[in-house]
Structure 1
Amino acid sequence: MVVVLREITDDNRDSVLELHVSPGQERFVSSVRGSLREAAEYPHAKPWYRAVYADGEPVGFVMLSWNVEPRPPEIHGPWFLWKLLVDERHQGRGHGFEVVRQIAELVAAEGATELLTSYVPEDGGPAGFYERLGFVPTGESDPDGEVLMRLALPWTPAGRLPA
C-alpha cells in the first residue's frame, strides 16, 4: 500500500468531497466539505490540508494548523492535527496510521517538537487510535469538551499497528 498526500485541485475535488465516515462516526469528525468550510472561516489558523490517496485512489482527508501562533481556546498549535478522515470503505487498513506517520515527519522537518490533536470523549471515538499512536492527554480540554492530546516528536512508530 502506497499512501500519498495530494493537494486538492479541480481535478480531484469532487471525488474527495464524496469521502465520508460511517453515520456513527459523524459526531467525531466533520465532512470534507465542512472541513474546507472551516478552513475558509479560520484562515488565521493557517489551515494546511490534503487528500489522502492509497494506491492511486482517494481514501481520506487530513487538515492541520500549520505552524500557527497558538491562541487558546480557539487555536491550538503551533502544529495541530485538526481533521483526520478515512472513508468508511477504507478504514482498518492502516491508512490513518500512515497519514499520522507522514504528518509527524513533515512537521518535525519544519522544526516541530510536538503534534497536537483533540478528540470527542465518547464511546466509539478515536481516543484509542490516537493512544496507540503514542498521543497522550495534555490534561486540557477545549471549550467544546474535546480532550487535547500531544505526540512528542521526532516520532518513530514501533511498527505497524494491529487493525
Structure 2
Amino acid sequence: MTGPMELVEITGENRDAVCALRVRPGQERFVASVARSLEDAAATPEAEPWYRAVYTGGEPAGFVMLSWNVPPGRSGLLGPYFLWRLLIDARHQGRGLGRAVLAHVAGLVRADGGTELLTSHHPADDGPGPFYEKLGFRPTGEIDHGEVVVRLVL
C-alpha cells in the first residue's frame, strides 16, 4: 500500500473517480463494477447496503460493499453481515490492500455486534477462493446463485 488505508463515503465529488476503478483483465467475471454495485445497492434497499470507497495515499484504490445487519427472515438474503462486493483497482492489487480492507470491515462488523461475516465467490480455479481462504473464510456448505458461500467467524 502507498499509505494508510481508509474507507471514505462516496459523494458527488469522488463518485466518478471511484467508478473509474477497474480490476485486472480477466477478473471482471468475478466482481461487478463500482457503477453496477451502486445500481444494485439502489435497487435492493432491503439488503441494507453499506458501501465505501477504499483510499490509500489519498486516492481511490478500491470499493467495498456489504449487506449491513440485515434483519432475520428477509427472503433471498444472506446475512446479517454479507460482503457483497470487494474491488481493488488493478494498479493497487498485490499490495495487501484487500486484506487490510477485510480486516478493517471485520472489526467494524464485530464492533456492531456481528459474530460472522459471510461472502460468496465463483468456484473457479483462478477465482478469489484462495484469497478468502487465506484470510480465514471457510465454506458453509451452501451454494447461492452458483457461488460458494464462505464464513469468517469473528
Q: Into which bin does the TM-score normalised by the smaller protein fall? A: over 0.9
Q: What is the CA distance between 1:123 and its match in structure 2?
A: 2.1
Cα separation, 2, equivalents of 1:145 and 1:71: 21
Give 1:132-147 correspondences, 5 Å limit: 132-142=134-144, 144-147=145-148
Correspondent of 1:92 among 94, 97, 111:
94
CA deviations 1:46-88 (Å, max 9, x no partner) are 0000000011110000000000024577211000000000001
Structure 2 CA distance, aligned partners of 1:73 and 1:123? Answer: 30
**Distance (whole Å) between structure 2 residues aligned to residue 117 and residue 44 of structure 1:** 17
User: Where does structure 1 differ by over 6 angstroms across 4 or more consecutive aligned residues?
Assistant: none
- Partners of 2:90 and 2:149 lie apart in 1 by 24
Aligned length: 152
Match of 1:59 in 2: 61
Aligned pairs for 1:30-41 (under 5 A) are: 30-41=32-43
Q: Secondary structure at the match of 1:131?
A: helix
Structure 1: gaps of 5 or more residues: 154-163
1:125 corresponds to 2:127: yes
**If the length of structure 2 is used for normalisation, what is the TM-score?**
0.95
- Supply the distance in 2 between the matched residues of 1:138 and 1:73 (Cα, whole angstroms): 18
Identity %: 61
Separation in 2, partners of 1:72, 1:81: 16
Segments of structure 2 that go 5 or more residues without pairing to the other structure are none
Matching residue of 1:16? 18
Distance 1:63 1:70 in 2: 19
Judge conservation of contact 1:70–1:76 (CA < 8 Å) in 2.
no
* Residue number in structure 2 paired with 1:150: 151
Tell me, in whole angstroms, the C-alpha distance in 1 between the residues paired with 2:40 and 2:85: 10
- RMSD value, Cα: 1.1
Offset, 1:4 = 0.2
Distance 1:103 1:11 in 2: 24
Equivalent residue number for residue 113 of structure 1: 115
